[in-house]
Chains A and B, each alone.
Chain A
Amino acid sequence: MSPVSLRRWSWIHKWSSLVCTVFMLLLCLTGLPLIYHHEIGQLLGNEVEAPALPAAQADAVPVPADLDRVIAAGKARYPDKVMMYMSQEADEPALWFLTMGAHPNDEKFVSIAVDARTAQYVAEPPIEGGAVMAFLFHLHVDLFAGVPGKLFLGFMGLLLIVAVVSGVVLYAPFMRKLEFGDIRHGRTARLKWLDLHNLLGIVTLVWTLVVGATGVVNTLADVLLQYWQSTEIAAMVKPYEGQPAPKTLASMEQSVQHARAVQPGMAVAFIAFPGTPFASPHHYGIYMRGDQALTARLYKPVLVDAGTAQVTDQRTLPWYLTALLLSQPLHFGDYGGAGMQFLWALLDLATIVVLGSGLYLWFKRGRAAAAKPKAGAATKAAPQAALAREGEPR
């Protein structure tokens, strides 16, 4: 590498890293407990579990309760609220989670868990997994600043990608005289940390790039969903423009049966009720998912007329929402069991060491440069000297 390009890449690496490092450290530190949010929720008692059925029913294959009865269980608890959403997790078919509010876009919604087999009320889980997890979650996702906060973190993620790529470019000149994994102990602390920075940076390379890039995609979620609502959902409900909303809502059980009939082999992931952003004033938005590992991550929206329970339209998700949905597991590391979760945590810790050592290396060099103001003159004569202190590339 020519001295000039080495200096350019060093400049790119230094500034892209410096700007994003503090935020990346925050994301790594808050992300660590979020990897285990289910387990932590269980420990704190914030996770809802389906109650055991009486012995007589426990052995039989449970028959799902009528969905209208499930909704009635929520209405019995909150007679003045309307349904906003209901959803089911792929690994817990015994529970329905109802979201209810004073109106379809109520930000002070409540969440209610109802037994999907008996239609009995189970619990009211704390929103976002309780105060502590909600705090960590917002620090990680939007810095308590909503969509602008998300987009800001997305930009920091882009800088991380620049830092990783420039770091790989610099790996070659720094490692030319060394074998893979060499750590130069016993000389200076800075040299040892430089080698550790290079080692951990290069072994975690692909993981960091994937988690960084999928994190950036996740920050675009709101923007992508808004775009989809204003284009595709708007087109799907176009024929209903100007019609009054149905006065009484059609049976949910029938609506879901009709949706299942057009999408056999798929299960309901979530249902959006009329007036919410994922439906229309005239429709239920029934979002189906597949039953395979990959298809369970993807949704197929079926629009059902909320007055007649008949299917109006169905679409495949556009590519950008498919990309968004697939980028979620790749960011969370929640798709390969406990082993993957643990490795995710270790890789996160390794990234913290890379970030921390990078900061230390910059700090040390900054002090070394300040202590030797004449070094600048030497730099002009031999440009590589800028990086060549203490056995760095020559």
Chain B
Amino acid sequence: MSAGFRSLWGMPILLGVLTAVGLVSGLLGDGWWDVVAVIGLAAPVAVGTWHMFKPAKHRR
């Protein structure tokens, strides 16, 4: 896997997998399964929120 591919798609794939694991986990059981579901779904929300509101980079 090239470095270019990883830097472009690494995070989207990671978040996609976490979301999918979260969505399925909640269906399979209660208790800890629901905790996994919340963690999986919180990942895209957290990453999106961080990049949306992070301090702006200095312009080159």
Within the complex, which residue of A186, A206, A210, A347 is in contact with B45, where a contact is CB–CB below 8 Å? A347
Cβ-defined contact, A293 with B33, below 8 A: yes
Write the residues of chain B forming the contact surface with A, with a CB cutoff of 8 angstroms: 7-12, 15-16, 19-20, 22-23, 26-30, 33-34, 37-38, 41-42, 44-45, 47-48, 50-52, 54, 56-57, 59
Residues from chain A with a CB closer than 8 A to the CB of B11 are: 180-181
A293-B48 contact, Cβ under 8 Å, with A185-B56, A206-B20: no
Task: Knowing A171-B12, A199-B51, A339-B34 are in contact, say whether A207-B41 is a contact too (CB < 8 A).
Answer: yes
Determine if A136 is an interface residue (Cβ-Cβ < 8 Å): no
One of B8, B10, B34 near A340 (C-beta < 8 A): B34
Q: What distance in Å separates the Cβ of A333 from its nearest Cβ neighbour in chain B?
A: 9
A255 CB to nearest B CB, Å: 31
Given A180-B7, A336-B37, decide whether A293 and B30 contact each other with a Cβ distance below 8 A. yes
User: Interface on A for B, CB 8 Å cutoff?
Assistant: 171-172, 175-176, 179-183, 185-186, 196, 199-200, 202-207, 210, 292-294, 297, 326, 329-330, 335-337, 339-340, 343-344, 346-347, 350
Q: Are B44 and A207 in contact (CB under 8 A)?
A: yes
Are A207's CB and B27's CB within 8 A? Answer: no
User: Do B26 and A343 touch (CB < 8 A)?
Assistant: no
A210 touches B8 (CB 8 A): no
- B48 nearest CB neighbor, chain A only: A203
* Given A336-B26, A336-B41, A346-B45: 9 more A-B contacts, CB < 8 Å: A183-B54, A207-B19, A210-B19, A210-B23, A293-B27, A293-B29, A329-B26, A336-B37, A339-B42
Write out the residue numbers on chain B whose beta carbons fall within 8 Å of the beta carbon of A172: 8-9
User: In the complex the two chains form, is A335's CB within 8 Å of B26's CB?
Assistant: yes
A196 to B50, CA, bound (A): 12
Q: Which residue of B lies closest to A200 (CB)?
A: B48
Q: Distance (Å) between the CB of B39 and the closest chain A CB?
A: 9
- The distance from the CB of B22 to the nearest CB of chain A, in whole angstroms, is 8
Distance in Å from the Cβ of A171 to the closest Cβ of chain B?
7
CB <8 Å contact, B47 and A181: yes
